[in-house]
Structure 1
């Protein structure tokens, strides 16, 4: 259907939600806004869906949410009566419409006779992952747009293992979602009727307690915390999101005495009014935490994103200021801490990371005799591998992480878990303080031992129909004319994950990449350097990743700058 036909269908629908009707009337004379809102269905892909709130087929609203829920319900129905009885678990974050979208999901499920466990209030994404496993459910949904701007919301689907649905499973769900012909006419049941029939079960603190019990198992050095409890100062901000209770209570149970909360950011706020972006990857998100840190002389500042699957950590410098660690740096520190403090490492131990995550972690893992596995970007691929090796016994999972501030210490959750990471990062800080070192000094020791690995990320946001076309052009340009060299760095191989091939530029030899197909290109250069191009699956962005290794920190900085400069200059020409 054309956007005009989609718009007419909505405009003529007499029972359209009153709020959406009001919003639609406000833009009825703006053809550009109408086209953006109706030119396509909001994409429900292998990572779920995410988009701006508002009326239209290309927006997040109760009807597009019902469409997603309808596809998932049909998928569960195909699994049989037992799957329907086991039901699904639904959680939501602090965003606009998140509670409403959660209930709409339950109302669609109920119309199909599928039970829904629904949290009474907002919960972190990792607790949803845990709850699916804890309640032995068939699937899970979390309504969240993670760290996107306030005008966004999103919808992520989890499988019975508590992980985001991997490609084959996700594609089947996507197919069923796309087969829904009219999102306006999906049958829903009433909340009262579902409660009466036992198809809507409200869940609360009992799952929190079970999750907290699991969190207590990740500690490696409880005696160190006891010794340093009075000495280490921590500042914590949930950035207006979902992690406040669990991180605060977790730190208390671990034994930390001096924890200061950034009060202005403690309460849920869908506008994220104190930050430009509620993303701990963006260092400005720590502005208030740094002010608090200087007041209380904090050793560590920790911040989670709104749905608490990403963690940022800042460390006090000798000058009394604070440096925010990158995701690669914190991941490598956590990995080293886990491996060096685990009593008996298994012979088949495994660390899992993504293809755009630093090779620093692999160097550390190898030092301890631990294998490393690379997956595509997205924690669902890490979760999928955890499940596979749990079943085959080939490897024992020890740690998983990605450069975008996502970490998993223990696999009672199957998605990145900022609550776990926050607690263990504070324990790690206490451990190194007991040795007379900061996390920055511990990081320097790792650089000295393994080499100076540095990474950077450059993103370009290209919204709308024209933006999608520009992103496509950039990817095609690099495929048709591969990068050859950057000053003294030679391109050794080009990995095209869309075709599933690795081509060595010296002899044009090609080999198969044994990973799922994805629109990603990675160039491997000499001296352990690399760069990668990846359109985002959830935002109107294309991301460029860079990684280098040098014998000194300055050599690495110079190499990183020259690699970034060469790629960005080419992008600008395109």
Structure 2
């Protein structure tokens, strides 16, 4: 086993401390260290592996921000690593943005441990730079932060959230003045300023009292909620008369201990959805997420309580949002009367078809549908059917938000964007995936199909019958620590050095290497450029519209492998997916 770092090194015949131990000693001896963190450090004494992991490297600030386990150390989420990140962000904003001090930065937070505390710490460091912080007065969804940046006209936004990660995690996400997640170029520059902050323990900050005395701190809430709800009402595809009709759709909704409860219910009420039963236990903003194994609507166990309540109330659909309300999961009745949780690809295809079929055909010629490179090709087929152009982006909704921003210059019209990991955007008044918008539109869509005598499951089968049976899947391998990072790098290096010619019995037609920005046609050896930012991703396009994509995660210590197939029926699709997965599993584990 490779050691993270050598515990001790020899220098001029003497035994000296390694780098991580030097940093640990600095924290341990810092007299003003936060008492709670100091106590945690004392509890860790003698546990060398735990200490090393907390101090051997700095918590990574990636393309959208940082995310990590709570606790003491430079490789953990705590008030000091947050202060350092904010200090770097502030230095960046002062140089790169206009009217920074007057426009300020808006800060929001979710239901996790330390979320509100980190939001306040963010405000305190901004205040020390003379930058006005706008802080939400209660926990709010991530899409509300995106909306607030645009509504208030701030130079940036910060969201304290770890999305659907386990309870011991929290995170720090940065948004640019357009309300989208920062781009890779912006992140790279911000990282430079963060790295220029030498000592995370001594970052200057104001107290909350000092900010209030200087009229720097502004608390926000209801005004932004109301403005958002006004925009939300406009996403409907119903005519005014149908909007005012009472809907008899039976809905069960769970916010999974997060932030979506109030806005989803208000959004549904605006369209006269009154038959909404909430999973009461899961409305509690519980940072332990105590009623689920994981607060992630991508995982079917998150719907256990909703399914039970749905069976009791004979619900038509079940709705689940993740804790920061940017991801949405839906369960619909299948022919047996049981509830089937739709995949992100399936729900995205259904919403896309509903939107396009209820749009003015004369307006679709300039419309653009956005999806990621690992999202189902069914969406493209549907868009083609309505004469709408599909644009692929790299994985991550930040790239969809960035593309929408460019439409302001090109004159193209955004009509829908989605990714396989349960993220959707219907209207661009927010610039990130939005589970509140999606919950309202999905309910409207389910009501539409109910009036046709169909469930969402029936509507999905109709799409498959029209366009082909598209199935997708994903497998991931978690490899933590420095050794894990090296193994992930080794897998990607091997894939590039020894490119595959056949996967699961299917021939490779061409290979897309996004790190090289190059697409290679296997039969001819011809290469052509890929007009997307560079990223460590390799995608294989195979016979019969099948594909495999290998990608290290940007937010977790994982390497992910995505699969897509198109077959004549479900059974053939399942079989084909199994062949592809078995082949790639052998390759990954062999490396």
User: Which has the larger displacement, 305-314 or 547-556?
Assistant: 547-556
User: Which has the larger displacement, 240-249 or 314-323?
Assistant: 314-323
Question: Tell me, what secondary structure is at the counterpart of 2:106?
Answer: strand
**Equivalent pair of 1:225/1:256 in contact (CA under 8 Å):** no
Whole-angstrom CA distance in 2 between matches of 1:338 and 1:13: 58
Q: 1:425-453, CA deviations, whole angstroms, 9 ceiling, x for partnerless residues?
A: 00000000011111111111111111111
1:539 corresponds to 2:556 = yes
**Equivalent pair of 2:97/2:155 in contact (CA under 8 Å):** no
Q: 1:256-306, CA deviations, whole angstroms, 9 ceiling, x for partnerless residues?
A: 121000001011000000000000000000000000000000000000000
Whole-angstrom CA distance in 1 between matches of 2:277 and 2:97: 49
Whole-angstrom CA distance in 2 between matches of 1:8 and 1:524: 52
1:315 corresponds to 2:332 = yes
Alpha-carbon shift at residue 80 of structure 1 (Å): 5.8
Alpha-carbon shift at residue 508 of structure 1 (Å): 2.2
Question: Tell me, what secondary structure is at the counterpart of 1:281?
Answer: coil
Alpha-carbon shift at residue 169 of structure 1 (Å): 1.4
The residue that corresponds to 2:125 in the other structure is 108
Alpha-carbon shift at residue 128 of structure 1 (Å): 0.3
The residue that corresponds to 1:420 in the other structure is 437
Q: Which runs of 5+ in 2 are unaligned?
A: 1-17
The residue that corresponds to 2:391 in the other structure is 373
Instruction: Rate the CA distance shift 1:454–1:81 in 2: closer, same or farther, 3 A.
Output: closer
The residue that corresponds to 2:3 in the other structure is none
Instruction: Rate the CA distance shift 1:487–1:76 in 2: closer, same or farther, 3 A.
Output: closer
Question: Tell me, what secondary structure is at the counterpart of 2:135?
Answer: strand
Equivalent runs, 1:451-470 vs 2, <5 Å: 451-470=468-487
User: Which has the larger displacement, 488-497 or 447-456?
Assistant: 488-497
Alpha-carbon shift at residue 226 of structure 1 (Å): 5.2
Whole-angstrom CA distance in 1 between matches of 2:573 and 2:246: 35
Alignment TM-score, normalising by the size of structure 2: 0.95
The residue that corresponds to 2:365 in the other structure is 347
Match of 2:528 among 511, 516, 519: 511
Whole-angstrom CA distance in 1 between matches of 2:146 and 2:577: 37
**Equivalent pair of 1:294/1:320 in contact (CA under 8 Å):** no
Equivalent runs, 1:157-556 vs 2, <5 Å: 157-221=174-238, 223-224=241-242, 229-230=247-248, 232-344=249-361, 345-393=363-411, 395-556=412-573
Match of 2:147 among 127, 130, 148: 130
**Equivalent pair of 1:225/1:430 in contact (CA under 8 Å):** no
Q: Which runs of 5+ in 1 are unaligned?
A: none
Whole-angstrom CA distance in 2 between matches of 1:556 and 1:318: 20
Q: 1:467-489, CA deviations, whole angstroms, 9 ceiling, x for partnerless residues?
A: 11121111112111112113541
Match of 1:8 among 6, 25, 28: 25
Alpha-carbon shift at residue 549 of structure 1 (Å): 0.5
**Equivalent pair of 1:240/1:269 in contact (CA under 8 Å):** yes
Question: Tell me, what secondary structure is at the counterpart of 2:32?
Answer: coil
1:561 corresponds to 2:578 = yes
Aligned residues: 572
Q: 1:143-190, CA deviations, whole angstroms, 9 ceiling, x for partnerless residues?
A: 000000000000000000000011111211111111111100100001
User: Which has the larger displacement, 477-486 or 353-362?
Assistant: 477-486
**Equivalent pair of 2:333/2:339 in contact (CA under 8 Å):** yes
**Equivalent pair of 1:535/1:543 in contact (CA under 8 Å):** yes
Greater than 4 Å deviation, 4+ residue runs: 222-228
Question: Tell me, what secondary structure is at the counterpart of 2:139?
Answer: coil
Whole-angstrom CA distance in 2 between matches of 1:347 and 1:506: 34
The residue that corresponds to 2:11 in the other structure is none
